[in-house]
Amino acid sequence: MSEKWDLSKLFKNDNDPKIENRKEDVRKAIEKFRVKWASRDDYLNDPKILREALDDFELLMRHHGVEGGIVFYFSLRSSQEQENPNVKAKFSQALEFARKMENEIRFFNLKIGKIPLEVQKKMLTDKGLDRYKHYLERCFSQAKYILSEKEENILSLKADVAYTNWVDMVQQFLSSEEREVFGEDGKKTIKNFSEIDNLLKSNDKKVRDSAANAFNDILLKNINVAEHELNAVLKNKKIDDELRKLPRPDASRHIDDDLDSSVVDTLAEAVASRFESVKRLYALKAKLLKVKSFTYPERNVLYLAGSSEKKYPYPEALSLVRKVFSSLDKEFAEILDNFIKNGQIDAFPGKGKRDGAFCSDDLVTMPTYVLLNHIDSLRDVIVIAHEMGHAVNSELMKKQHSLNFGTLLSTAEVASTFMEDFVVQEVEKEADDEMRLEIMMRRLQDDVSTIFRQIACYRFEQEIHEEFRKKGYLSKEEIGKIFSKHMTSYLGENASGCENWWVYWRHIRTYFYNYSYASGLLISKSLQNEVKKDPKYIEKVKEFLRAGTSASPKEIFLKMGIDISKRDFWFKGLDEFDGNVKEAENLAKRLRKI
C-alpha cells in the first residue's frame, strides 16, 4: 500500500527534461490554435465552423491546457516541501508561463462572448452544438462583464502586485510567528502559528487560554499591516468591478458559480433566520463542559465522553471508509482502491509538508491527488471520507469533455460532505451512548462551522465591501467592529474576543467564497436523506457527480427533483440541524449529563 504520492505520471522529478519539453509542446499547441482562429470571425456566425473551433479548443484543453500540468506538479511539490526554495522558484516560473499562455488564447472566449444576441440564440438551438450548449451559455453570460482582450491581459498581469502579493505577505508574516505556550503535556514550549491554532481546541483550559493569548498577540502584532492589506484587496475589487460594471460586489462570484444572485440571497437569509439554533447548541455544550459560556477562541472546543479517544490507524481508517463507499456504490470503493494502489494519496505529516488536507486535479487526462496528515484520530477518518468524496467527484467527471470538466464553488462541497456524513453515521452505529453523544456534538459543531459560520462571514464580507465603497478606507477598528457584529449574530455572547480575528481568515480575501460551504452541505444533506429513503437514489447522485459544468447547478438539481431556488429547500437541512440538537439534548438528559 503506497502512502506517498507517485508523481511520476506527471514528471519524474523537479529537474525532469520533460518539463521544458512540455512547455514547448504547450507553446506550439497554443500557437497553432491561435494561428488558425485568432484572425477569423467566420466561426462567430456559422454553427458548423463554431463546432470545429470548439472541438479544437476542447482538444487543446484536454491535452495541454495553458500549462501542461507543470503548475499542477509544482503546486503538489510545494505542498510536500513548503520551504524548498528551488520548488518555490520553479512553481513561480510555471505560474508566469501559464499566465502568458492564458493571455495568448484569451481572445477565443472573448470573441465568442461578444456574438450578437440574435446569433447567440441560433447557436444555442443548433443540434450540432448540443455538446457545448452550456459552455456557450456560460460564455454568453460572463461576456456581459468582460473587457477587451488587451484590458483583460492587463488585469491578469497586474493581479500579483495588486492582490496576490498583498495576501501572501500577511499569510507569510503570520506563519513565521512563534510563541511560548503551554502544550498538552502541561509544559511550556515554543509553537508556530498553525500549532497554536490547533491548541485552541484543547480540552485543557490552561492550554487553550495560553494558546488564545499567544494567538491574539500574533494578530495584534500584524494588525496594522493587515489593515493596509485588506484595504488594498477591497480597492482592487472595487476597481475591477467598476471597470466591468458589475451590479454588486459579490456578482462576479455568483456568475462564476453559475448561480443567480437571488439563489444565494435566499440561502443566506434562510441560514441567518436560524442563527438562534447555534446559540441553543452552545448552551448545551456549555452545560456538558460545565462552563458558563465560551470566548470566541474557544468556540471549537469539543465535548469528550471521558474515555480516551479511539485511535484509527491509517489502514483501519481506509477500511472503514471503503466499507461505507462500497455500501453506497461499488464504483466509489473501486476509485478509493485505485488511489491507494497508484500512489495518489500522501497520507502522513512530514517536515515541511503543508498542514490540513485537500484533493487536487488539473487536466481531464491527468491523475487526481489527495493530501492528508493522518494522525489516527476520528477527525482523520472523516477527512479521508471528505477528500475522497472530492476525488470520486473528480474521477466521475472525467466522463465529461474537457470544457465541462470541473466543479463550481457553489456545489464543490456536496460530494465531500455527502461521503463524510455517511462515514460519521457508520462510526455512530458502533458507539455506545456516551460515545454517540460525543460524535453527535462533534458533528453538530462541524455543521455550525460549515453552515452558520460561513454565512455569517459571507454577510461580513458583503458589509465591508459596501462600507469600503462608501468611505474609501476602513480602519482596523471599523473592520473589527463589523466582524464582531456578524460573529455575534450567530454565536451571541460566545463571540467575545473576536474583533481581531479577521486578520488571519484568508477566505475573506478570496471574495465571497464562504457561502459555498453552506450550500454544499445543505444540498448534501438533502441527497443523503433521499438515499436513506431509497438506496437506488444513489444513481441520481452519481448523475450529479458526473455532470461537471454541463448544466447550471439549478438545472442539474431540478432534474433530480430538487429546487435550490426555493427557501423551503434550504429549511429542510436547517430543520435537520434543529432536530439533531434536540436529539443531543435528549441523549444528554438520558445520560444525566445535564
**Contact in structure between 94 and 70 (CB atoms under 8 Å):** yes
User: Cα(564)–Cα(566) distance, rounded to whole angstroms?
Assistant: 5
Residue with cell 433530480: 560
pLDDT top residue among 153 and 135: 135
Task: Give me the CATH code for the 7-148 domain, please.
Answer: 1.20.140.70
Where does the pLDDT of residue 163 fall: very low under 50, low under 70, confident under 90, or very high at 90 and above? confident
Position 104 scores a pLDDT of: 96
359 or 201, which is more confident? 359
Residue 309 DSSP one-character state:
P
pLDDT at 304 over 90: no
pLDDT at residue number 306: 64
CA distance 449 to 125: 43
Q: What is the pLDDT of the chain when averaged over all its residues?
A: 94
In Å, what is the CA distance from 481 to each residue of 218, 235, 464, 470, 558?
Answer: 19, 20, 10, 16, 41
Continuous H helices in 472-549: 476-491, 515-533, 538-547
Q: Which SS3 state, helix, strand or coil, does residue 188 take?
A: strand
Burial class of residue 373, CB neighbours in 10 A (0-12, 13-18, 19+): middle
| Mean predicted confidence (pLDDT) in 557-577 | 94
H/E stretch holding 370? strand 369-371
The single-letter code of the amino acid at 312 is: Y
Residues 499 and 478 sit within 8 Å (Cβ to Cβ): no
Confidence of residue 308 (pLDDT cuts 50, 70, 90): low
Evaluate if residue 48 carries a pLDDT over 80.
yes
Q: Do 346 and 32 touch, CB atoms closer than 8 A?
A: no
The Cα 23–Cα 70 span in angstroms is 8
What pLDDT score does 157 carry? 82
Instruction: Indicate where the chain has its CATH 1.20.140.70 domain(s).
Output: 7-148
274-284 pLDDT, tens digit each: 999 999 999 99
Task: Read off the pLDDT of each residue in 450-458 and give the average, rounded to a whole number.
Answer: 97
Mean pLDDT computed over 172-177: 90
pLDDT tens for 373-403 read: 999 999 899 999 999 999 999 999 999 999 9
Locate cell 525532469: which residue? 16
- Give me the helix-helix angle, 414-429 and 314-328, nearest 10°: 110
| Structure confidence at residue 198 as a pLDDT band (50, 70, 90) | confident
Q: How many Cα atoms within 13 Å fall on the side-chain side of residue 88?
A: 6
| Separation between Cα atoms, residue 443 and residue 450, nearest integer Å | 10
pLDDT at 485 over 60: yes
CA distance 581 to 85: 49
| Cα–Cα–Cα angle for 249, 254, 260, rounded to 5 degrees | 115
Confidence of residue 248 (pLDDT cuts 50, 70, 90): very high
pLDDT surpassing 90 at residue 139: yes
What is the average per-residue pLDDT within 81-93? 94
**pTM metric for this prediction:** 0.88
- Please report the pLDDT score of residue 83 as a whole number: 85
Pairing of strands 345-346, 188-192: unpaired
* pLDDT of 529 above 70: yes
Mean pLDDT of the 294-321 span: 89
DSSP sequence for 195-246: HHHHHTT-S-HHHHHHHHHHHHHHHHHHHHHHHHHHHHHHHHHHHHHHHHT-
Give residue 271's pLDDT. Answer: 98
End-to-end Cα spacing for the chain: 46
∠ CA 147-149-151, nearest 5°, is 60
Residue 2 has pLDDT above 80, yes or no: no
Q: What is the mean pLDDT of residues 236-255?
A: 96
Q: Is it the case that residue 564 has pLDDT exceeding 80?
A: yes
Phi, psi for residue 390 in degrees, rounded to 5: -60, -40
Element (H, E) at 179: strand 178-182
Indicate the pairing of strand 178-182 with strand 188-192.
antiparallel
Specify whether the CB–CB gap between 400 and 411 falls below 8 A: no
pLDDT tens digits, one per residue of 427-442: 988 889 999 999 999 9
In tens, the pLDDT along 397-437 reads 999 999 999 999 889 999 999 999 999 999 988 889 999 99
